[in-house]
Amino acid sequence: KRVNTLHLAEPLFQVDIVVSVAKLKTHELTFITGAVKNFFGCIPSRDRNLLHRDGDPEKFSENVLDLFSVCRCDLGIIDGIEGMEGEGPAQGKVRKVGVLLFAKNPHALDAVMAKIMGFSPYEIPLLYLAEKRGWVDLKNIEVIGAELEKFIIPNFEKPSTFLSKRKRNILKFLAPLGVPLLDTYPKLKREKCIQCGLCKERCPVEAIELTPYPQVNYGKCIRCFTCIEICPQGAFHPSHSFLTRILRKLRH
């Protein structure tokens, strides 16, 4: 729908069976990352940067689903013996979960993973947009082998960038009031930075300069949070505007 050309790893089309093995993790842009988002590993960095040019969770999720549409997945596996909560997929905290999940439908698999992490599947763009494409029925997923409710973790820490779909719609409605009031943006902790330049190299819109520390041009920045994900020192973190902080504290 949104991307015309991608370069895919050739072995993906040379094997008899494709199995996606992913860790149970949060993600600051897609909120979860599992068997479907795992296919990001099948494309080179330049194509990842191209897909990351859509920093909106829904638009980026559409890109991920476009990628998945030209791949194949015969079996999905989620390793949730230990997972990651908080600022995943790179800066989060290890959380013992104690599950191994298997499914032929990776979207259903990710939906069950999301429920265990305390999300509603309808809060996750990767899931409700996959349902919209007819790839999964989120209301009709059969779980066998154990009772799902016994494994749900209500206090699983979500990424600080997460807002429910309702709250995201509120922000979109209020957006004409001005970006500073509504924004979540990457901010540098200079004391952690080693000036490696990886954030500048991987920024999909070239919004970062080294002077000598990374300087973000927020006018160009699309809030894809690649700099947070890629930083080996955890020097970037999400910073939230006043209204966004209020919305995060509201229960619903």
Check residue 101 and report its DSSP letter: E
127-136 pLDDT tens trace: 999 999 999 9
CA atoms within 13 A on the CB side of 129: 19
Other Cβ atoms less than 10 A from the Cβ of 6: the count is 17
79 and 46 in one domain?
Answer: yes
Q: Residue 98 belongs to what domain range?
A: 10-151
98 and 40 in one domain?
Answer: yes
Q: What pLDDT is stored for residue 245 in this prediction?
A: 78
61-88 pLDDT tens trace: 999 999 999 999 999 999 999 999 999 9
Q: Which of 66, 67, 91, 228 is nearest to 157 (CA)?
A: 91
73 and 42 in one domain?
Answer: yes
Distance CA 82, CA 88 (A): 13
* 175 confidence band (pLDDT: 50, 70, 90): low
Q: What pLDDT is stored for residue 23 in this prediction?
A: 98
Q: Is residue 230 situated within a structural domain?
A: yes
Read off the tokens for 171.
């922000």
Read off the tokens for 127.
């899931």
Q: Work out the average pLDDT over 34-55.
A: 91
Distance CA 177, CA 182 (A): 8
Does residue 184 surpass a pLDDT of 90? no
Does residue 150 surpass a pLDDT of 90? yes
Residue where one domain finishes, among candidates 103, 128, 151? 151
Domain at 226, CATH number: 3.30.70.20
pTM: 0.88
71 and 172 in one domain?
Answer: no
Q: Is residue 213 situated within a structural domain?
A: yes
Other Cβ atoms less than 10 A from the Cβ of 49: the count is 17
132 and 176 in one domain?
Answer: no
